[in-house]
Amino acid sequence: MTITTELTRALGIKHPIVQGGMQWVGVAPLAAAVARGGGLGLLTALTQPSPDALRKAIRDTRKRLGDSQGKFGVNITLLPSISPPDYAGYARAAMDEGVDIFETAGNNPGPLIKLIQTYQSPGATAVPKRYIIHKCVTIRHALSGQKMGVDCLSIDGFECAGHPGEEDIGGLVLLARAAKELSIPYIASGGFADGKGLAAAMSLGAAKIKEKIVASTERDTVHIFRTLRNTARVYKNAVSVEVVKLERRPGGAKFEDLRELVAGARGRKVYETGDVDAGIWSAGISVGLIDDIPTCEELVDRIVREAEETIGRMASSISNQRQSKL
Range of the domain at 71: 6-193
Q: Supply the pLDDT for residue 173.
A: 82
Specify which of 5-19, 266-280, 311-325 reaches the highest per-range mean pLDDT.
Answer: 5-19
Mark whether 174 and 298 lie in a shared domain: no
Domain boundary among 193, 210, 235: 193
Mark whether 19 and 161 lie in a shared domain: yes
Q: Which of 167-171, 297-301, 318-322 has the lowest mean pLDDT?
A: 297-301
Q: Whole-prediction pTM value?
A: 0.66
161 SS3 class: coil
Cα 308 from chain centroid?
A: 42
Whether 229 maps to a domain, the answer reads no
Whether 320 maps to a domain, the answer reads yes
Domain boundary among 154, 178, 193: 193
**8 A C-beta contact, residue 93 and residue 55:** yes
Domain boundary among 144, 177, 193: 193
Q: Supply the pLDDT for residue 309.
A: 81
Mark whether 178 and 55 lie in a shared domain: yes
Whether 283 maps to a domain, the answer reads no
Q: Supply the pLDDT for residue 301.
A: 67
200-to-16, 197, 325 alpha-carbon distances in Å = 13, 5, 60
Whether 104 maps to a domain, the answer reads yes
Q: Supply the pLDDT for residue 179.
A: 84
Contacts of 108 (CB under 8 A, 6+ apart): 78
Q: Which residues of 60-93 are buried (b: 16+ CB within 10 A; e: fewer)?
A: bbbebbeeeebbbbbbbbbeeeeeebebeebbbb
Q: Supply the pLDDT for residue 63.
A: 96
Q: What is the mean pLDDT of residues 288-297?
A: 79
DSSP assignments along 91-135, one per residue: HHHHHHTT--EEEEEES--HHHHHHHHH---TT-SSPPP-EEEEE
Spatial separation of the C-alpha atoms in residues 212 and 317, rounded to whole Å: 38
Mark whether 167 and 314 lie in a shared domain: no
Q: Supply the pLDDT for residue 284.
A: 82
Number of structural domains (the chain) is 2
Q: Supply the pLDDT for residue 51.
A: 97
Q: Supply the pLDDT for residue 297.
A: 65
Whether 31 maps to a domain, the answer reads yes
Average pLDDT across the chain, whole number: 87
Q: Supply the pLDDT for residue 206.
A: 63
Specify which of 23-37, 127-141, 290-304 reaches the highest per-range mean pLDDT.
Answer: 127-141
Torsion of CA 183, 184, 185, 188, to 10 degrees: -70
Mark whether 185 and 300 lie in a shared domain: no
- The pLDDT-based confidence of 1 (bands split at 50, 70, 90) is low
Mark whether 18 and 159 lie in a shared domain: yes
DSSP assignments along 220-280, one per residue: SEEEESGGGT--EEEE-SHHHHHHHHHHHSTT---HHHHTTTT-HHHHHHHHHH--TTSS-
Amino acid at 167: E
Whether 204 maps to a domain, the answer reads no
Mark whether 161 and 308 lie in a shared domain: no
- CATH code at 33? 3.20.20.70
Q: Is 232 exposed, middle or buried (0-12, 13-18, 19+ CB in 10 A)?
A: middle
Q: Which of 130-134, 200-204, 316-320 has the lowest mean pLDDT?
A: 200-204
Mark whether 178 and 301 lie in a shared domain: no
Q: Which of 10-24, 124-138, 154-168 has the lowest mean pLDDT?
A: 154-168
Q: What is the pLDDT of residues 140-197, one digit of tens each?
A: 999 999 999 999 999 988 777 666 777 777 787 888 888 888 889 999 887 776 777 7
Whether 262 maps to a domain, the answer reads no
Q: What is the pLDDT of residues 237-256, one digit of tens each?
A: 999 999 999 999 998 999 89
Spatial separation of the C-alpha atoms in residues 282 and 61, rounded to whole Å: 45
**8 A C-beta contact, residue 308 and residue 316:** no
Whether 26 maps to a domain, the answer reads yes
Q: What angle do CA 191, 193, 194 make, to 5 degrees?
A: 130
